[in-house]
Amino acid sequence: MTAKKTIILPVVAAAALVVAILVGGVVTGVLPGFQSLQTQGKPQAGTLSILMTDPPVVSAGVSAVYVTYTNVGLHNSNAGNNSGWMQFNNTGTVNLMSLVNVSQTIASAKLPNGTYNLIRLDVSSAVVTYDGSNYSASIPSGEITGSIKGGIQVNGTSAGAIIVDMQPEVINVGTSSSPEFIIRPSAQVYTVPPNDVDSNMQTTGYRLSLTGKAWWSDDQANASSSVQITVATLTNGSLNIVVKNSGQQNVNIKAIIITPLSDYESGQSTASVRNDEMPSTMSNSSILLVQSSGQLISLQSVISGSIGVDLGDKIFASVFGGSGYTLASGSTTTFAFNGTMTPGIPGLSIGTQGNLSPSSGQYVITVVSSSSVTNTVVVAG
C-alpha cells in the first residue's frame, strides 16, 4: 500500500482493539506469539479468547481502514493500574471494516486465575483506502485502554471469551482530491455469557455470527445511544436543530457539521446519504462545537491562530475531547446558532475562503456524539 498524504494530529483516545497480521501486504488472522504470554511465575489456569466485531464510522468513500498495533495486554483487576498487566509482545495490522455482525477470534491464551478488567494496546500507524487509493492517516500515539464491562473471570474450570466492539471514527479533513485522514479510535468490550463460550472460539480466525444472539442484542441495546435529528432548519447565518436521544444511555453531543450536499460525496443524492457516515470531506463544511451549556460556537473561534502540533491538539480537543452537551436517555433538546458560518479547517490551507452562505440549495447536517454520528438533509432558505 502506498501512503500519499499524512497529517499528524496527536490526541488522547478512548479505546480500541485491532487484529489480524499484515504479512507482505496480505491481511491474515494470526497473532504469532500470543500463546507465549509471560505469567511471571504465576500458574496458567484458565483460557481466555478475544474476539472482535463491527466496522468503524467512516467518511463517505472510505472502503478500508488498516491500523497497525503492538503490545496487547490484559489487566488483573486485583492489581493497581500500573501493575498486574499480562503483556503480549505482538505486532499486527487489521482492516477495521472487515467485520459486520460477525465476531472473529483474534487470540486465545492461558492466563493465571483471576478477574481481568482492562485490555490495552499501542497504535503506531494507519492507512485508509479512499476511492480505491491508499493514504496514510494520523492516529493517536501511545497507549489505548478499554474497560471490560463487568470484568471477565478466568479459571481452570471453564473457558471465557470477550468481544471487542470497534467504534472508531475516520474523518477526512482534506479535500476529495487531496484527502488527509485522522482517526479517533474507540471501542466497547463485552463478556460472552459462559453458556455461549465454546472450544471453537479458541481457534484464531474462528468466526461467530452475532445475528439472532439475544445476549448480544441486549448488550448493544443497553449500551446504545440512538441520536435522532427530528427538526432542522438552515438559513444564511442561522441554524436550528432539534435532537432526540431515543437510546437507553445518556449521550454527549460534541459537534454539528454543515456540508453542502454536493461536497458530501461526489455524485451523492439525497436518497443515498447514509445515517452513519461522516462527510467525504469537511474542506467546505462549517463545524460548530457544542458546549456543555448547549451553546454552539464555531471551530474557527477556538483554534484561530494555531499552527503545527498545537493545531492538531486543539482540533481534537475541541471536537472530541470536551464534555459536550449531555443529552439524557429519552430527552430532546434544541440547538441554535446565529452568526457567520466559516467553512474549512483553519490552519490547514484548505477549504473555501469566505463564509458558508446557505441561502438556497441542499445541505447535510451531521450531529457528532460520543458514540455515533447521524445525518439529515435540509433545503436552505
Whether residue 341 has pLDDT greater than 60: yes
pLDDT digits (tens, 9 = 90+) for 297-324: 888 777 655 544 445 445 655 566 667 8
18 versus 46: which is more confidently predicted? 46
Average pLDDT over residues 28-54: 56
pLDDT band with cut points at 50, 70 and 90 for residue 38: very low
Q: Which region holds residue 131: left if phi is over 0, alpha if psi is between -120 and 50, else beta?
A: left
Is 234 in a helix, a strand, or coil? strand
**What phi and psi, each to the nearest 5 degrees, are found at residue 15?**
-155, 150
| Rounded-to-integer distance, Cα 68 and Cα 124, Å | 6
Give the number of other Cβ atoms within 10 Å of residue 309's Cβ.
11
Residue 155 CA to residue 111 CA, distance in Å, equals 8
Grid coordinates in use for 299?
471551530
Whole-number percent of the chain with pLDDT over 90? 17
Task: Provide mean pLDDT across the span 31-41.
Answer: 38
Where are the domains positioned within the chain? Answer: 22-222, 227-379
CA distance 278 to 318: 17
Q: pLDDT, tens digit, for every residue of 197-251?
A: 999 999 888 999 998 898 888 777 666 557 889 999 998 889 999 999 988 788 8
Q: What is the mean pLDDT of residues 252-256?
A: 90
Report pLDDT for 247.
80
| For residue 164, pLDDT beyond 70 | yes
Q: Please check whether residue 92 is in contact with residue 20, taking contact to mean a CB–CB distance below 8 angstroms.
A: yes
pTM (two decimals) = 0.68
Q: What's the CA gap between 3 and 266, in Å, rounded?
A: 22
The predicted structure's pLDDT at residue 40: 46
pLDDT in tens, 101-156: 888 887 788 888 889 999 887 777 889 999 899 999 877 655 677 888 888 988 88
User: Measured between alpha carbons, how far is 13 from 10 in angstroms, rounded to an integer?
Assistant: 9
Q: DSSP states of 122-188 as a string? A: EEEEEEEEETTEEEEEE---SEEEEEEEEEEEE-SSS-EEEEEEE--EEEE-S-SSS--EEEE--EE
Q: What is the mean pLDDT of the chain?
A: 75
Structure confidence at residue 234 (pLDDT): 92
